[in-house]
Amino acid sequence: APLTGSEIRSAFLSFFEQRGHRPVRSSALVPANDPTLLFTNAGMVQFKDVFTGREKRDYNRATTSQKCVRAGGKHNDLENVGYTARHHTFFEMLGNFSFGDYFKRDAIAYAWELLTSVLAIPVDRLAVTVFEGTPEIPADTEAEDIWREVAGVAPDRIIRLGLKDNFWMMGETGPCGPCSEIHFFQGADVPCQEEAAGRPCQGVACDCDRWMEIWNLVFMQFERDAQGKMSALPRPSIDTGAGLERLAAVLQGKRTNYDTDLLQAIISAVGRVAGKTYDTAPESEKTSMRVVADHARAAAFLVADGVLPSNEGRGYVLRRIMRRAIRHGTTLGLDKLFFHEVCAAVIAEMHAAYPELRDGEKLILEVARNEESGFRRTLSRGLQLIGEEIESRKGGDRLLPGDVVFKLYDTYGFPVDLTRIIAEEHGFFIDEKGFEAHLEAQRERSTFAGSGEAAVGALYLGLATELGETSFVGYEALETRGKIL
């Protein structure tokens, strides 16, 4: 039988533990000392200071399975969810790290051995990428040679790509370097998102599900200064990330992450509450079931890590995730509170690996119920308002004015992207600039405490104190005020 998701997680960690890596627990989704980052979005986040040398640990090799959220901020996969086979808002990233210890040769050899020997992925379905270089930064011929000579990868399966895909930087300054990505061929008949948009599929280089990226190996070998000058790091480091859900899809012979055991238990829960069967449902309903399942994982894990719904920063991203899920639930015909039941399935399924879900259970379910009942009250009134506005503008420029978008946001609690989606469904655009201007004006008029949202916040704060051992960090989000709108 194929390995289960949790067996793959263990196999990865023990492979690296046997090779001298310290297994380190996942850090929280709210980064510890990094107000610039909305959520932990990669395995390396908890090791940033170790890579720069500001912090010393008693090990120089580590391996983790890291909780990640990519919704809002630089890596935002929110709108992909439901529509690609491989993106989640919440996912687990497996990784191995070398802090100035081994470098390219070992990193490549380890990854190849794990994938092709231990996990027995057929070599003929794999391809790798290397950095092709720019006038300023040399091509990574070193990695190319290692892929050919050490791993034995056929030259036509080594693809050279540019800065966007194959060069990594921690920030404007600091450690950076080329990377190699390992891709798995899912099949020529897998739908390509580019082809769907009328453009040709770019194969390994394409941003689609056909050649799915499974693992990214980052070779930190330069240091970039404020002038953009790059110098060689005396002790280069390794940072890698492999999506657990994607590896599960490969090893379980599935075309999408959602067909793996990791997501199926939660998809079934969605089916149960909606009275639908995923496998036989029409594609649009499948999309909604995937969205609900994915977002329930993100919501449960975010609340367990202390994020609570609000109108700002992290809490606002959580609110958007929950509301997007609830709206998809309504398209599945769910007209009663259901989201907490799907969150309960997430807790049941994942608390063994992540005990914080059990600790936060009461709070997670209560927040889910509250958020859904609040949203449902305004959803129908908001939908009516949009309907009227669109009807009265049908003959015109098909633009939903900024003040209407703002009213939906402010009075009815509609996240802007929700309004945008509904508008687009009617062939309308929203006046983004006009909306921003109204938002800015409101900020100047009032403080957060003066808005109706404070009451909602207080309610959650009360709940958090009453129910949770979870530390409350929702309002830390105030620091990132406005950044993610």
Residues that bind ligand ATP (CB under 6 A): 70, 77, 86-88, 91, 93, 213-216, 241-243, 245-246
Burial 57-66 (b: 16+ CB within 10 A, else e): eeebbbbbbb
Cα 202 from chain centroid (whole Å): 23
For position 213 contacting Mg ion by CB under 5 A, the verdict is: yes
C-beta of 386: minimal distance to ligand ATP in Å? Answer: 29
Comparison of 88 and 407: residue with beta carbon closer to ligand ATP: 88
Residues 6 or more apart whose Cβ sits within 8 Å of residue 353:
6, 9, 65
Burial 461-476 (b: 16+ CB within 10 A, else e): eebbeebbebebbbbe
Q: Which residue is nearest to ligand ATP (CB)?
A: 243
Give the whole-angstrom CA distance, residue 74 versus residue 69.
11
Q: Which does 295 bind (CB under 5 to 8 A by kind): ligand ATP, Mg ion, none?
A: none
Q: Which does 215 bind (CB under 5 to 8 A by kind): ligand ATP, Mg ion, none?
A: ligand ATP
Comparison of 140 and 213: residue with beta carbon closer to Mg ion: 213
For position 239 contacting Mg ion by CB under 5 A, the verdict is: no
For position 285 contacting Mg ion by CB under 5 A, the verdict is: no
**What is the pattern of x (binds Mg ion, CB under 5 A) and - over residues 166-185?**
---------------x----
Pairing of strands 158-161, 126-131: parallel
Give the whole-angstrom CA distance, residue 244 versus residue 127.
18
The stretch near Mg ion (CB under 5 A) out of 140-148, 209-217, 224-232, 360-368 is 209-217
Q: Which does 236 bind (CB under 5 to 8 A by kind): Mg ion, ligand ATP, none?
A: none
C-beta of 240: minimal distance to ligand ATP in Å? Answer: 8
**Residue pair 427/398 in contact by the 8 Å Cβ criterion:** yes
CA end-to-end span of the chain, whole Å?
45
Residues 6 or more apart whose Cβ sits within 8 Å of residue 483:
38, 313
Structure token pair of residue 291 = 């969205």
C-beta of 290: minimal distance to ligand ATP in Å? Answer: 12
C-beta of 182: minimal distance to ligand ATP in Å? Answer: 8
Give the whole-angstrom CA distance, residue 428 versus residue 388.
13
C-beta of 470: minimal distance to Mg ion in Å? Answer: 29
Among 216, 288, 311, 419, binds Mg ion (CB under 5 A): 216
Give the whole-angstrom CA distance, residue 8 versus residue 86.
17
C-beta of 349: minimal distance to ligand ATP in Å? Answer: 17
Count of chain residues binding Mg ion (CB under 5 A)? 3
Q: Which does 345 bind (CB under 5 to 8 A by kind): ligand ATP, Mg ion, none?
A: none
- Helix or strand run (H / E) with residue 205: none
The stretch near Mg ion (CB under 5 A) out of 61-69, 123-131, 205-213, 457-465 is 205-213
Comparison of 181 and 431: residue with beta carbon closer to Mg ion: 181
Comparison of 181 and 372: residue with beta carbon closer to ligand ATP: 181
**Residue pair 233/221 in contact by the 8 Å Cβ criterion:** yes
For position 209 contacting Mg ion by CB under 5 A, the verdict is: no
At position 44, the amino acid (one-letter code) is M
Give the whole-angstrom CA distance, residue 300 versus residue 60.
33
Residues binding Mg ion (CB under 5 A):
181, 213, 216
